[in-house]
Structure 1
Amino acid sequence: MKIDFANLKKAHLEHKAEVEEAVLRICRNANYIMGDEVESLEQELAEFTNSKYAITCSSGSSALLLALMALDLKAGDEVITTPFTFIATAEMIALLGIKPVFVDISLEDYNLDCDLVKNAITPKTKAILAVSLYGQPPNIEKLEQICKKENLKLIIDGAQSFGSEFHQKKDSSLGTIATTSFFPAKPLGCYGDGGAVFTQEESLAKKIASLRLHGQKVRYIHQYIGIGGRLDAIQAAILRIKLRSFAQDIARRNQVAKTYDKYLRGSNVILPKVLEGRKSVFAQYTIRTQKREALQEKLKQNGIPSAIHYPLGLHLQECFANLGYKKGDFPNTELASAEVLSLPMNPYLSESEIKTIAQVILDKGE
């Protein structure tokens, strides 16, 4: 039995006829950038998330960059964020000369510990950039309360969580601005790079749309310094097709997670927990174990892929050495980095495959 981690081939087969017809249609029309497909996708994304505005872009990283630029954050400003995430979260902050200020995570959901955020706020703090890690939103209500009291902006990095919910509201519809990624392995993935930015504010939406196109106001007339961050029509067409059945994919991912829970209950590994009032899209099914290296090797020997999301906190990455953080500053991040292990997660995992994975984990030496 060969178990696939993300199973992108099966995802393609599920939509094969529609996708291949759409790609051929776009090639024949030779309308590759922006256009009707992108406009239609943006309307459908806004409708799905209950956001007033959805602006597509070239990647999840571009989405974060556009969000920060739209809020007029400048060099010397500070943005509070998590050290336990993919580097793009803090990388886009630093790219603009803004200072990332890290706050440790909660081990319950691996997201920002909201109770620690207040202590990191200074007169230079302009925003909080919170990540919905592994597909589950942080405590957005608490973060919004902090932002309102301290006059800060809230950006939700939903690169892993498109379709997730906090108190029955899509996380893309919350915060000042929310972002997501459509990287192929994401819950809603395209066939290359892609992303989107969401907001309820018209002025921000217009600015983001302009920044995405080199700050252009009308053709060749530029209001802002922007980026080339457009989504191509082929990716938009693929996303439109996959979005139609995405609610079913979310349900299947949650069923896969429940099946993992059933077979791994009683093991020595720590299982992921979805907190009250939240709905996860399970971008990853990530366990924790003190014997990660041995377990990962055992899984490999049995033909089962796994991944570590993430092996080193951002505060200890060489590229952020100038921030002056040291080992021990964020104990929960460092503990998670040493113990987390992501198991295969996709909507197509069968119960027998999950049972096989669980049996390897439950075997002695876990």
Structure 2
Amino acid sequence: MKVPLIDLVRQYNVLRNEIDEAIRRVVGSGRFIGGPEVESLEEEVAEYLGVKYAVGVASGTDALWLSLMALGVGPGDEVITTPFTFVATAEVVALLGARPVFVDVDPRTYCIDPGKVEEAVTPRTKAIIPVHLFGQPVDWDPIEEIAERHGLFLVEDGAQAIGAEYKGRRICSLGDLGCLSFFPTKNLGAYGDGGMVTTDDPELAEKLRVLRTHGAKEKYVHRLVGTNSRLDALQAAVLRTKLPHIDGWNERRREIAATYDETLKDLDSVTTPYVMPGCTHVYHQYTVLVRDRDEVRGKLAGAGVATAVHYPIPLHLQEAFRYLGYKEGDFPVAERISKEVLSLPIFPELSDEEVRYVAERLVEALGA
């Protein structure tokens, strides 16, 4: 048996008629940039998350970038975040001329460690970007307290966690701004790039709308220096078709995770994902820790099981961020888990047979 890491064609086959009709609707309308499809998606996502405003943009990276731009982040500022995340989280800080300041991660959740955030705050700190990694919410309350105490903005990186909840509140409804990615492999994925910024602040929402359209509210009248970061109507139509299914898909991911958990629970040689009390995980990735990761991964590949490594090199050790002056040993938890993380197949269309096969092959690969 061969089990892929993800198979987007399976999802399309389930929704084929709805997706095809949505695409035909857009093509028949002649409206491809913005318009009613994007506006409707913005309203539907805002309602789903429990926020007042949602602003569609071209990608999850742009969601982060424009959020910081809207907050006025620039040269001389510092933004605190995690070194164990996709590069975009810190990349956008650097692109604005500000300095990414890294804080080590919690060894259980792999998210930023709230107990280490405050010591990284300086007079130059302007914002914190907590990342809800792999579908696991960040331990939010202590970070919010720090931000309030120091007058800092909070920008949620929720690219991997739409539908996850922290104490009954959905992620991307917690901070000043929330950032979503609709990259095709995400729990809610488009058929190309796409992203969204969420907020309860009307002024920030309006500024984001202006920034995403070359700094203009009316055509050829440019109030700000902005960019071209508009979500296109075809992607919005696909996402509107998928959005009503997201809770069911996330529940299926939790079912798959529970099967993996049950099969692996008695093994000392593997650490399964931790779920914080009062939180709902949506398992964008089911990522375990194993020693001899590359050897185990090779055995799984030989058995037909696809896996991935998220992420092999923490950001503070990446060449792109060498100028920040960090060195090996600065963030020992992030460094350790980067050598042990292994992501198993998890997507809603996996069959129970495939899930059991993956779990059993992992047990064999571990020599248990």
TM-score by length of 2: 0.98
Residue 238 of structure 1, CA deviation: 0.4
> 1:365: Cα distance to partner?
4.0
Q: Which runs of 4+ in 1 moved over 6 A?
A: none
What do residues 57-107 of structure 1 show as CA deviations (whole Å, max 9, x unaligned)? 100000000100010111110000000000000000000001000000011
How many angstroms apart in 1 are the aligned matches of 2:343 and 2:14? Answer: 24
The alignment status of 1:304 with 2:305, answered yes or no, reads: yes
Deviates more, 1:95-104 or 1:256-265: 256-265
Q: How much has 1:41 moved relative to structure 2? A: 0.4
* Counterparts of residues 26-45 of structure 1 (less than 5 Å): 26-45=26-45
Q: Unpaired segments of 5 or more residues in structure 2?
A: none
1:104-123 matches, within 5 Å, as: 104-123=104-123
Match of 2:338 in 1: 337
Alignment of 1:278-293 (within 5 A): 278-293=279-294
The one-letter code of the counterpart of 1:228 is: N
CA distance in 1, matches of 2:365, 2:163: 37
Shift of 1:13: 0.9
Q: How far apart, in 1, do the equivalents of 2:213 and 2:323 lie?
A: 32
Deviation larger for 287-296 or 22-31 = 22-31
Q: Which moved more, 1:2-11 or 1:287-296?
A: 2-11
Tell me, in whole angstroms, the C-alpha distance in 1 between the residues paired with 2:350 and 2:107.
Answer: 27
For residue 217 of structure 1, report the CA deviation from its aligned partner: 2.2
Contact 1:104 1:330 in 2 (8 A): yes
The two structures, once aligned, show a CA RMSD in angstroms of: 0.9
Aligned to 1:134: 134
Once residues 27 and 321 of structure 1 are traced to their aligned partners in structure 2, the CA distance between those partners, rounded to angstroms, is 46
User: Once structures 1 and 2 are overlaid, which stretch shifts more, 355-364 or 27-36?
Assistant: 355-364
* Greater mean alpha carbon deviation, residues 185-194 or residues 257-266: 257-266
Letter in 2 for 1:244: P
**Residues 267-278 of structure 1: matches in 2 within 5 Å?**
267=267, 268-278=269-279
In structure 1, what is the equivalent of residue 179 of structure 2?
Answer: 179
- Residue 2 of structure 1, CA deviation: 2.3
Q: Deviations over 1:299-333 (max 9, x none)?
A: 10011100000000000000101000000000000
- Structure 1 residue 153 and structure 2 residue 153: aligned? yes
Unmatched 5+ residue regions in structure 1? none
Q: In the alignment, which residue of structure 1 is the partner of 2:241?
A: 241
**Shift of residue 4 of structure 1?**
2.0
Q: Which moved more, 1:267-276 or 1:305-314?
A: 267-276
State the shift of 1:25 in Å: 2.2
Equivalent residues of 2:214, 2:222 under 8 A apart: yes
Q: Which amino acid aligns with 1:179?
A: C
AA partner of residue 176 (structure 2): T
1:204 is matched with 204
Q: What is the aligned partner in structure 1 of residue 25 from structure 2?
A: 25
Report 1:88-103 matches (<5 A): 88-103=88-103
> 192-201 or 356-365: which moved more?
356-365
Task: For residues 253-299 of structure 1, give each alpha carbon's deviation from its aligned partner in whole angstroms, at most 9, with x where no partner exists.
Answer: 11111111111121221000111111111100000011101110001
- Contact residue 294 and residue 365 of structure 1 kept, 8 A: no
Q: Among the aligned pairs, what percent are the same residue? A: 46
TM, length-normalised to structure 1: 0.99
* Partners of 2:300 and 2:365 within 8 A in 1: no
Q: Is 1:325 matched with 2:332?
A: no
Write the deviation string for residues 104-155 of structure 1: whole angstroms up to 9, x where unpaired: 0011100000100011000000110110000111111111100000110001
User: Who is 1:48 aligned against?
Assistant: 48
Query: 2:317: which partner in 1?
Result: 316
Matched residues, number: 366
What SS does the corresponding residue of 1:244 show, helix, strand or coil? Answer: helix
> What's 2:361 paired with?
360
| Alpha-carbon separation, structure 2, partners of 1:38 and 1:363 | 48
CA distance in 1, matches of 2:221, 2:141: 40
Q: Cα offset for 1:364? A: 5.5
